[in-house]
Structures are given as structure tokens and as C-alpha cells.
Amino acid sequence: MSDLLDTTEGAQHLFMGNESIARGALEAGVSVAAGYPGTPSSEIIERLAGIAGKRNLYVEWAVNEKVATEIAAAASFSGLRSICTMKQNGIHVASDFLLHLTGTGVRGGMVVAVCEDPGALSSQNEADARFFAKMLEVPLIEPGDFQEAKDMLKWAVELSEELKTFIIFRSVTRMSHASGNVRIGKLPDTKPAAYYNCKGPLLDFATGPMITGPGAVGFARTVQQGRLKRAIELFETSPFNSYAGPEKPELLVVTSSACSLYSKEAVDIMGIGDRVGILKLGTTWPLPPNLVKSRLASTEKVLVVEEPQDFMEENLKILAAECVTEVGAKTFFGKKSGHIPSQGELSPDLVVSALKTILAVAYEPVPQDYAARMFSAMFKTPGRELTFCPGCPHRASFLSIHNALALDDRDGFVCGDVGCYGIGVLPAGFSTVKTNFSMGSGLGLATGFGKLTQFGMTQPVLAVCGDSTFFHAVMPALVDAVHHKADVTLVVLDNSGTAMTGFQPHPGLTKDAMGFTSPPIDIEAVCRAMGAEVAVSDPFDVPATEKTLLTMIKKPGAKVVILRQICALSPEKRAKKKYDMSVDSSLCIGEECGCNRMCTRILRCPGIFWDSENKTAKIDEVICAGCGVCASICPSGAIRKAEVA
């Protein structure tokens, strides 16, 4: 049985932060969970979906983050407890609905869990979701370790129900994707009964219609601001705000989330616990003024340790200014002073370096002679550029797109968006992708480019998108392209799943998140219904795909080419080779061939490498996934494929 369903109160499990959040949702009696996959948030919905049947939950991978929040809100309006999840970009997608939702508030507890990726380890941008809490006037909480990830999620649901507003619960990669021991609590015996009461009068959000409108704005905001005032009262005594250190520290570190662990570690390894106090805040908006004031009064210097932006630092400075007559003027250190970097992920080392400067403490992690050896070792190994996995259909797709554009010879280019196929900007994707923005933006931009013929634009424009992205945000752009007769070719890289984030199902597939059979939405039929001409090809058939692409690129108007081949890492395909590949070294004539070592220098698949001693290409049988693409591009016929029995 899944550890998530363990009923032994007090038992300890090693939980990933996201599993801890999922367990917190269960302990809170959440009935409905919805989200859109995005690193580092995906495992929350994944884990809840896996046990949905056993706890009578409804869990879905929504088509996008805005719809996910709407699914969660409907449950809340009907008296159920709910959660919706997303990565940092997701709250930007969902924010229009969330802005409206502050106008009514909620009924059943509802938590918006945003898992951010400071340092953009698996993202195209950093974004600090905490500013949304201030902008939308809703409470914000941030767990500081794995135990709190569970405990605070449960509390957030209860708090939401008490205050009648949704709560933003903010996590980060080093919390969501890190793991630690978690002591579990009680799983409640819930008997949810859903009923949407809308019989009451207008503007009575407990019994009446949930609506926002011009006449209700002032009233609604007053109510919401009252909820925030009540939140402040509760936050003043919250056990999730804690202080450790001397009563009158020389320096007060104010921190939250994973940064509180970095701060603790830095103080610990530098051995300066008698000089530095750490105020770890779990309730970061609105700040509890009395608690903060009492700590400010105990020191002259304050260092704010947070990522990726200076959200707390700004708000602390405002608070400090407001109470300057009570606590005296303070010197603040942080991002503004340059002691903490203003971009990227923080680490214990970055906190160490801030503390070294502020307190003039000497600290070196290793002896000097060892540090010199470390330095020289750094240059002894080659770097690793991102690439497509061995057997990835995208490598083959981009090869064909690249070749088709070269044959077409009109300086054509590709607009991309979010997903593994973003690697199309690198040599691994033959550098074919020339714009790369948000979900669905490839086609939106391509449509814009495709309307510039009246200004003399002659370059053919392609857009690429994944199958999950197609549903998330490409469909409206395709409507725009067809309706406005933009000259554009959309290439759907259909690898049968949301591959980048771990094969979450999407509306094009026959199973939903919980494993139930669902009617698939046929991408091809949708495109045809919109009025686009559609062609379908298998990217592993390189010559046919190239030909199809070339034909479609040359046609006017909006066209769609669906390149369909399952992701090499998908559970159905993983570790199952279609072909055993080999190189006949008597036929591979290497540099003499004139192919410019197409298989290794151009294709750059990790499964085939150049054996410089024997001057021949060679298959690495541990890495090769047996897709057969290299055999179809070798002009000497030296690469052989034998079907695996």
C-alpha cells in the first residue's frame, strides 16, 4: 500500500516535499484536486491521482492552470475542500480567474499550491509567485521543511475555510523535489456532500450566487481586506513562525522556505550561532507586524535571505519604517545591498558569503592546497550540453524540419514553446527553433509572422508544439491562424503524453489521471474541424517526413503536420528496443565518406559515437534505444538495423 495512505498516526516516512503536500491534502480532507503538470509541482496531483479511488477523491490533470483553479473553486463553492497545483508560470495563466475569485471568496477550504523553480533548473524563467498574494490581497504561506509541507498544507485548507478566501501555498524546487522524514497525522473520516447553494440573495456569498460585477467591487474588496486583517491576527501566534538564536543577536536573519534551511546550515558551519539569530517565517503575507517588530527591536542589523526576488525584504522595510519610532532605525542587508544575489537559486554557500562580509568572519571550507587541486580539476572534464534522449522522436523530427527548410531555401524558421522540444534551439535540435516563449506562443508568434507578407516577408514560418501543449494553449492560436488566413505550418510533435514532466495524461489520450477510460480528443480531427489542412507522418520515417513537410511548407494558409511517435522514455517503450543497431566498420569510411560524419557530428545522438582510434562510428549498446534513425541517414549504408525479435 502507498505510504500516503498509512493510517498509523505518528509513523515516519521518507516523503518528497510534493508527497508531503499530497499527504497534507489527505489529512485536511480535500476531496477535489486539479492541476496542470509543471516542474517542480507535478507529483502532488500524480500521487493524489494514484490513490483517488481509495479515498473517494476526484483528481484531474486539467487542460491548463486556469481551468484547474476553476475545477477546484467549483468544489469549494459546493462545500468541498480542494487544492489546485501549478508551477510558477501557471499562476500567471490562472491569475485572471483568481483575481475574480477574490471578489467572492470561497466556501470549502481551497488552496492554490504554486511550486516555483528558483534558478530555473527546469524552467524558462524565474518568477516570484509571492507577489500575487499582495496583488490579489490573499494570504500566503511557505513551508520551511518537509514536515511543514504537510502540516502547513493541512492548516492552509482549514485557514481558507475559516477566512473564506483561497490561500496561496508556495513551495520551491528544493522543497517540492527534495525529500525528508515526515511524521504523519490522522487521516480524517470524511463524508463530503456536494451542493451548490445559490438560492440566497446577490452579494451573500455564503448562500447566494458567486458572482463578480461592477456594482460589487467596493463591497467585495472591503470584505477581502477584512479577511486579511483576521489573517494577521492568526499569523501573530502561528507556530510556523519561529525564532532561534540569542535574545539580542548582532545580526537578525529573516528568511522563509528552503532558504531557512540554507541559513541554518550557514550559521552552523561557520559556528556563529551565538551572534546570529534566525527568524523563520511561514506566514509571509500579510506579515505579522507585532512578531516582526519584537524581533526588529532586538537588533540593529537585518539580513533578508529569500529567492528569487526581494518580496519579504520590501515588505519588512515598509514595516520597519512604520515602526521606526518604536524600534529605531535598522540597517538592512539583502538583495538591494548586493549581499544576496538578485537572481538565481540560493544555497548555504551564498548565505555563508553574505555572513562573511557582514560580520567580517573568516571561513574557508577546505585548506588552500586542496582548493588549488579542486580548481584545476574543474577544467579536466567536458561539460554536458542538454540533448534529446537516445531514441527521442524530436531529434528525428527536427532533423526533417531542418532539412525541409534547407531544401525550401527561403530562410524559413521555427517558433517553439515549452517542453523538451525547447532543446530545438540547441545544436541537438539542429538549431532550428528561433523563437521560444510560453505555452502555445510558438503558434501565436508564427501566426503573427505569417501575416507579414503585405510588408514583404517571404520567409516560411513553422511552429512546433507538443500534444499536451496543443490542448493547453495552442488551440486558440490555431483558430486565429485559420480564421485570419495566416501563412503558417504548425508541427505537432505528438509523443503521446506530457513527456517532460513525467507522462501525465492529457485530453488526447484514452485514460485520465485516475486511470479511468476517457474519450480522447483527436488532434487531427480538431485541426480539420477548424479548417486547417492536416498531414500525419512518423518522424522515424525520415525521407517521408521530410517530403511531407516540404510539401506543406510551400502551401499557403494555415496547415498542420502531426509527427506521431511515442516518447522513448514512456513506460510502454522504455528499455524496449525496436532494432538492434550495429555499424559495419568495413563500410563506414569515416572522414573519407564526404558525409561530414553525419551520424555523430550532425545527428549527435548519445547512442552512437565516433571511435577515433578505429576511425569508425560505433553504437554504444548500453545507451542506444534502437530507433533506427541513424541507419536511415547513413549514405554508405554502414549502419545496420536488425528488428528485435
Partner 1 sequence: MKELAKDPYNIIITGVGGQGNVTASRMLAGMLVSKGYSVTIGETFGASQRGGSVMSHVRVSKQGAWSPQIPKGKADLVVSLEPSEAVKVLAVYGNPNTQSLSNDRPIYPVRVIAGDDRYPDMDEIRATIEGLTSRSFMIPATGEALKLGNPVFQNVIMIGAVGGMDVLPITGEDFRAELGRKMSKDKAAVNLKAYEIGKSLVRG
**Residues at the interface with partner 1 (CB under 8 A):** 12-14, 39-40, 121-123, 145-147, 173-175, 177-181, 258, 261-262, 264-266, 269, 347-349, 352, 365-367, 370, 373-375, 377-378, 380-389, 420, 423, 427-428, 500-501, 569, 575, 597, 600-601, 604-606, 608-610, 612, 620, 622-623
- At its nearest, how many Å lie between partner 1 and the CB of residue 63? 21
Decide whether 427 or 515 has the Cβ nearer to partner 1. Answer: 427
Q: Helix, strand, or coil here: 223? A: helix
Decide whether 420 or 478 has the Cβ nearer to partner 1. Answer: 420
Give how far the C-alpha of residue 541 lies from the chain's centroid of Cα atoms, to the nearest Å: 32
Cell readout for 346 is: 540560493
- At its nearest, how many Å lie between partner 1 and the CB of residue 21? 15
First to last CA, the chain: 36
Rg of the chain taking only CA atoms, in angstroms: 28
Q: Of 187, 240, 189, which is closest to residue 11 (Cα–Cα)?
A: 187
Decide whether 433 or 523 has the Cβ nearer to partner 1. Answer: 433
Per-position b or e across 483-496, b if 16+ CB within 10 A of its CB? eeebbbbbbbbbbb
Tally the residues of the chain: 645
- At its nearest, how many Å lie between partner 1 and the CB of residue 600? 5
Decide whether 486 or 581 has the Cβ nearer to partner 1. Answer: 581
Decide whether 10 or 456 has the Cβ nearer to partner 1. Answer: 10
Residues 6+ positions from 388 with CB-CB distance below 8 Å: 394, 395, 420, 423, 428, 429, 605
Cell readout for 142 is: 511557505
Decide whether 199 or 384 has the Cβ nearer to partner 1. Answer: 384
Q: How many CB atoms lie within 10 A of CB 207?
A: 11
Q: Of 389, 390, 420, which is closest to residue 501 (Cα–Cα)?
A: 420
Decide whether 133 or 172 has the Cβ nearer to partner 1. Answer: 172
- At its nearest, how many Å lie between partner 1 and the CB of residue 631? 17
- At its nearest, how many Å lie between partner 1 and the CB of residue 608? 7
d(CA 573, CA 571): 6
The residue type at 224? Q
- At its nearest, how many Å lie between partner 1 and the CB of residue 606? 6
Decide whether 31 or 436 has the Cβ nearer to partner 1. Answer: 436
Decide whether 79 or 606 has the Cβ nearer to partner 1. Answer: 606
- At its nearest, how many Å lie between partner 1 and the CB of residue 282? 14
Q: What is the DSSP string of 133-150?
A: HHHHT--EE--SSHHHHH
d(CA 250, CA 189): 49
- At its nearest, how many Å lie between partner 1 and the CB of residue 261? 4
- At its nearest, how many Å lie between partner 1 and the CB of residue 20? 11
Decide whether 265 or 580 has the Cβ nearer to partner 1. Answer: 265
Decide whether 420 or 481 has the Cβ nearer to partner 1. Answer: 420
Long-range Cβ pairs for the range 349-357 (8 Å, 24+): 349/266, 350/262, 351/253, 351/259, 351/262, 351/263, 351/265, 351/266, 351/305, 352/266, 352/269, 352/270, 354/303, 354/305, 355/251, 355/266, 355/267, 355/270, 355/272, 355/276, 355/303, 356/270
- At its nearest, how many Å lie between partner 1 and the CB of residue 50? 15
Do 508 and 559 meet the contact criterion of CB atoms below 8 Å apart? Answer: no
Decide whether 65 or 161 has the Cβ nearer to partner 1. Answer: 65
Q: Of 428, 424, 635, 607, which is closest to residue 543 (Cα–Cα)?
A: 635
- At its nearest, how many Å lie between partner 1 and the CB of residue 430? 12
Decide whether 258 or 482 has the Cβ nearer to partner 1. Answer: 258
d(CA 22, CA 83): 10
HSE, side-chain direction, 13 A CA sphere, residue 198:
9
Decide whether 183 or 221 has the Cβ nearer to partner 1. Answer: 183
- Burial bucket for residue 600 (CB in 10 Å: 0-12, 13-18, 19+): middle
- At its nearest, how many Å lie between partner 1 and the CB of residue 39? 4
Q: Helix, strand, or coil here: 219? A: helix
Q: Of 440, 445, 271, 290, which is closest to residue 279 (Cα–Cα)?
A: 290
- At its nearest, how many Å lie between partner 1 and the CB of residue 313? 21
Decide whether 116 or 541 has the Cβ nearer to partner 1. Answer: 116
Residue 355 host element (H or E): helix 348-359
- At its nearest, how many Å lie between partner 1 and the CB of residue 624? 11
Q: Please report the sign of the dihedral spanned by the C-alpha atoms of residue 553, residue 556, residue 557, residue 562.
A: negative
- At its nearest, how many Å lie between partner 1 and the CB of residue 379? 9
For cell 508556495, the residue is: 170
> Where do the DSSP E strands lie in 357-460?
413-416, 433-436
